[in-house]
Amino acid sequence: MEPLFDRYKEIIPDFESFQKRLYRPLSTHLRVNILKMDPASLFKSFAEKNIHLQRASEKYDRLFHAPDLKSPGNLMEYALGYIHAQALTSCLAAFALDVQPHSYVLDMCASPGGKTSQMSGLMNNTGLIIANELYPSRHIPLAHNLARLGVLNCVITGYQAQEFPMRDRFDYILADVPCSGEGRVRITREGFWSRDKKYVKDFSHLQKRIILRGYDLLKKGGVMLYATCTYNPEENESVVDYLLKNRDAHLFSVETGFAQEPGIRDWNNEQYDGQIKKTARFYPHRVDSVGFFMAKIGRRG
């Protein structure tokens, strides 16, 4: 078998360190739910219980690394909705989109609701969020998390993201789309490599349909964040480039305050639009979390 992700050797910086990092399990990160709890108060409460937390960043006071905490879902604070266990890079997506209070927001692929609830916190439970999730079985954990975390400004819908009705236009859209999930892979996991190239191409076709529909659902001057947890350019830069070729979209720089790499300019003899350099790639040896990709897209007003 070829080395893990060897086909990305030329695009992932410090590739040897990247591969070594894959032998370490994913770290536990917690997001303090500001709808119910002040971060400083939670930090103090956990310290009294000898639960050690580390600030994940000076920029975000509500994100913590919990190096000794294996099962945060067993804590009373979790049941009460004070905290939510969420990958660090996943949390950064909602911060990068930067939704504002009293906005009209669409989360196109919302379950299990981590980013939806985070956006609700950023909006102080004002405005309205449409949390869309196709599969009815995933509505249960989505609704449970939104209720547990005190989200009041949200309704759940069940459309195919790529066919979401065009009746309304939104200020902000989050499109954290279905993907091959390479960013979550660690050596301890088995079975991932049963996925073949056709599987990836099917994702790319779906992602292109979703990003076009998302853009068309934006108000003039609206902003969409396209995100995946994979390294594959066919699911990342290629999809965003497809949007730029088919719509009058423009890209904003992705601002997170964490180590990130710009989007690549070409892949497999395909040249991408120059704006692609404004997209962001996150690697686990640079940010101790899931591998991620983000593109912040604006609709001209």
Q: Is the model's pLDDT at 187 over the cut of 90?
A: no
Residues 6+ apart with CB under 8 A from 300: 220, 221, 248, 249, 250
Helices (H), the chain: 15-21, 39-48, 76-79, 88-97, 114-122, 136-148, 197-216, 237-246
Residue pointed to by tokens 């710009």:
262
Long-range contacts of 126-130 (CB under 8 A, 24+ apart): 126/101, 126/102, 126/153, 127/101, 127/102, 127/103, 127/153, 128/104, 128/153, 128/154, 128/155, 129/105, 129/153, 129/154, 129/155, 130/105, 130/106, 130/154, 130/155, 130/157, 130/170
pLDDT band, residue 198 (cuts 50/70/90): low
Active-site residue, from 91, 109, 179, 229:
229
- In order of 72, 83, 107, 187, the CA distances from 117 in angstroms are 17, 11, 10, 31
Residues 6+ apart with CB under 8 A from 194: none
Domain boundary assignment for the chain: 91-299
pTM listed for this prediction: 0.95
What confidence tens digit (pLDDT) does each residue in 221-272 have?
999 999 999 999 999 999 999 999 999 999 999 999 999 999 999 999 999 9
Would you state the structure tokens that stand for residue 29, as one six-digit string? 């990160």
Residue 179 known to be catalytic:
no
Query: Which of 38-42, 184-188, 213-217, 253-257 shows the lowest mean pLDDT across its residues?
Result: 184-188
As beta bridge partners, residue 30 has: 64, 85
Q: Is the model's pLDDT at 277 over the cut of 50?
A: yes
Mean pLDDT of 112-120: 98
Mean pLDDT of 261-288: 97
Instruction: Say what the pLDDT of residue 200 is.
Output: 72
- Topology classification of domain 91-299: Rossmann fold (3.40.50)
